[in-house]
Structure 1
């Protein structure tokens, strides 16, 4: 029994050591394991104000929406449990409205099933929420906010330069995919010009002049990514179609890069095909989409965040064709127009959140690890890797353990095995 345990430990060390030391490459990066989120879940939403990252709602089983809320302080290395929201919800959004000093939680979903297509979520008991609520970051209390005109989930929200909040598209259990948009001015909602076509799980950004770009997504009837793109310019007061993307992309990653353009990465294509490894960037001045180098892995439902030095990190996600989740992280350099692997975090996941810190690092929170909800939280450090003494020690320890296992312990175990076969034990 002792020998069996010894061999099990040996195998574990051989497997884990390469995973722990995998973070790195040409880009100086490290991963610090943070305390687990108290209640594992996915399809939640995260938003940062100051040093704290607030996490609202989600689901642990894909059927039951949650009202729970928590806050993470990565520097203090601790979670704080907060009061529950008034309504359980998943697949909602949360945005910090600085002028109000409050976070507004918008819409969401209650019910069962994975709502990829309209037919998946139109059953009895499924609800697309129109309700909204405020969370005051000073008092840590929830209060009712004016409701949307149309309930929705998997929608996109953006704060505009004037401080108002724009909600676009999404899914509704009665109407299907939505083209309608609504604008919240801090007091109430009003109608905003609708998208030219109904869209859900699309890419979008707001330019400094208040113009809005929308690209990709799908129509809720078939799981095929769209190539089409639309631009809203405040001076025109309406949407107009711009050049389409080179690939149709549903549920892609996206980030606006000042001085470079709008990056859209990965996304699902169509049934029976892998997700995209490709990415492209929209140059507004020329109305053209320019292909970047490819990512290493096909993925959709991944997180994207801009680092302090103006690059983009993508993390996690899934491949629709295989259903497998990713733990890999990659970074896009807009100057080189290239992608580079920067290692892996510990738990592969999709439907988690990736949130930037004030230092330009990134925090990965929760998600679905292919067959279960995880509360794992990890901090990806770009700004000051030298400060992560514990991670450096752990990586060096595992590296030494791996070499010790390969060159000393493993040969000794083989000799023991041969001697036993020859009758010496």
Structure 2
């Protein structure tokens, strides 16, 4: 470092740099900060905090800003913004904190702070306010702190603040903010599966890759939201991962494609009434990374994807449930994979984004297209502001398409990056901003809540200019009426490439793809709005 210091903090920023703040130097407490850049293996001074601090605490917020508080006996706390390289004061704290300060980021997005005297308070980033909360039963320092899967905070051992004796005691802080809760575990934890809401209100989870053995699965489970239990049901006729599934108008579930290599043509039907699987007509073209959309006519549209030989196909086809066969329909203007599709209120299908590759050159797409089932043809329908793939899309409000997050940039490992931006389509003006999420993410999951708001959770934050990918448990909610995003309680486990399914109870079921970072997390959990 550029300056000798102790009792300072060090925080890893989303960019990969490390922020060091305050501490004690030769002349006492310090206000200076430093930044370490691993790309250049060098240190540089950052902006001064303006206030000397030691024995303080620093917390990385979901927004990417860093909260620094305590350690100087004032009522001030500060936020560092890496985007502008500046400090700003937060709202006034509820009480002063001279001694060793500890902070914990709660599932709700709030920050719990307490000092070695046992005084505690909560910071709410959404309102930029502090409020007092229950004090510790015993003031203590040098005590390890852990955020439990229950959302409670465990403080254990340490040195008490009165007699300065080491302690064996421990205590729990109940944040009372948790809105995710574990539900019964799957028989097999899996990723690359599908989750389909049945007419009964149950959820059918099919196939995927075993998170332990990495085997491609034929197994299928049904979740009952009333009893909150899983039942293993009849297996598929062949193993599938990276497949696509939709519920048909007759209540059956159509599962298409996917195998060990995620490219296939076969399809099968699940009948919930008889708990049986039967083979149905195969796709005309092998494809992976495609979309399936149930039309108002009852037919199913398969669009895009990558086929045998790595070809990015422009072909699309229709499945007729009455005959169990596929037939070709109009071609896309641009072959694409990892795009999204949504059924519009007028019966047309809108697809957006994705990517295609020629030789080794990958191009992410801004283009969007609309399919008319009446003419069987596609038409171009404007460009997104930002090219993206691996994002989610829903209809919000009066039928407005909303795209959220995703990957942008080129195919090089260090040059593609996750997006925090969202866009919505306006009949006049085309695609416009739908605000910015609190965290960049791709391979996330999202669901429309009963209120019309959109829940977005988990995913991966790939940081541009580096090989760093951060798996996430954070969640947030988009309000269409105000075009704003706000943090909500984090999941109990980090998940990327998982499924979110709205339940008849109003809750949302998250299934599978718990990352190795939090293997103790539940294989399934519930979000309660």
Say whether the fold is shared (TM-score over 0.5): yes
Retained in 2: the 8 A contact 1:367–1:374? yes
What's 1:241 paired with? 328
Q: Distance in 2 between matches of 1:126 and 1:178?
A: 19
1:78 maps onto 2:179 in alignment: yes
Q: 2:231 aligns with which of 125, 133, 143?
A: 143
User: Where in structure 2 are there 5+ consecutive unaligned residues?
Assistant: 1-21, 23-29, 34-46, 50-67, 69-77, 87-105, 110-148, 151-176, 463-468, 489-529
What's 1:314 paired with? 403
What's 2:474 paired with? 376
What's 2:31 paired with? 3
1:35 maps onto 2:86 in alignment: no
What's 1:225 paired with? 312
Q: How does 1:263-282 map to 2 (within 5 A)?
A: 263-270=350-357, 271-282=360-371
Q: 1:292 aligns with which of 350, 374, 381?
A: 381
What's 1:183 paired with? 269
Alpha carbons of structure 1 residues 363 and 11: separation in structure 2 relative to 1, 3 Å: closer
When you count strand as a share of all residues, which structure comes out higher? 2
Retained in 2: the 8 A contact 1:35–1:377? no
Q: How does 1:339-358 map to 2 (within 5 A)?
A: 339-358=431-450
The Cα of 1:111 is off from its aligned counterpart by 6.2
TM-score by length of 1: 0.69
Retained in 1: the 8 A contact 2:455–2:478? yes
Q: Secondary structure at the match of 1:177?
A: coil
Quick check: which has more Rg, 1 or 2?
2
1:256 maps onto 2:348 in alignment: no
Q: Distance in 2 between matches of 1:347 and 1:327?
A: 6
Alpha carbons of structure 1 residues 236 and 324: separation in structure 2 relative to 1, 3 Å: same
The Cα of 1:251 is off from its aligned counterpart by 1.1
Q: Distance in 2 between matches of 1:139 and 1:16?
A: 50
User: Where in structure 1 are there 5+ consecutive unaligned residues?
Assistant: 19-32, 37-68, 71-75, 113-124, 391-425
Q: Secondary structure at the match of 2:31?
A: helix
Q: How does 1:144-159 map to 2 (within 5 A)?
A: 144-159=232-247
Q: Distance in 2 between matches of 1:77 and 1:331?
A: 30
* Deviation sequence 1:279-302 (CA, Å, 0-9, x none): 111112122211111112111111
The Cα of 1:14 is off from its aligned counterpart by 7.4
* Deviation sequence 1:392-412 (CA, Å, 0-9, x none): xxxxxxxxxxxxxxxxxxxxx
Q: Distance in 1 between matches of 2:241 and 2:486?
A: 38
What's 2:209 paired with? 109
Retained in 1: the 8 A contact 2:188–2:210? no
Alpha carbons of structure 1 residues 104 and 138: separation in structure 2 relative to 1, 3 Å: same
Retained in 1: the 8 A contact 2:366–2:384? yes
The Cα of 1:336 is off from its aligned counterpart by 3.6
Q: 1:164 aligns with which of 252, 257, 264?
A: 252
Q: Distance in 2 between matches of 1:205 and 1:389?
A: 30
The Cα of 1:172 is off from its aligned counterpart by 2.3
Q: How does 1:407-418 map to 2 (within 5 A)?
A: none
Retained in 2: the 8 A contact 1:172–1:178? no
- Alignment size in residue pairs: 322
What's 1:331 paired with? 424
When you count helix as a share of all residues, which structure comes out higher? 1
Q: Distance in 2 between matches of 1:197 and 1:96?
A: 27
RMSD: 3.0
RCO (CA 8 Å, sep 6+): is it higher in 1 or 2? 1
Q: Secondary structure at the match of 2:440?
A: strand
Q: Distance in 2 between matches of 1:328 and 1:260?
A: 27
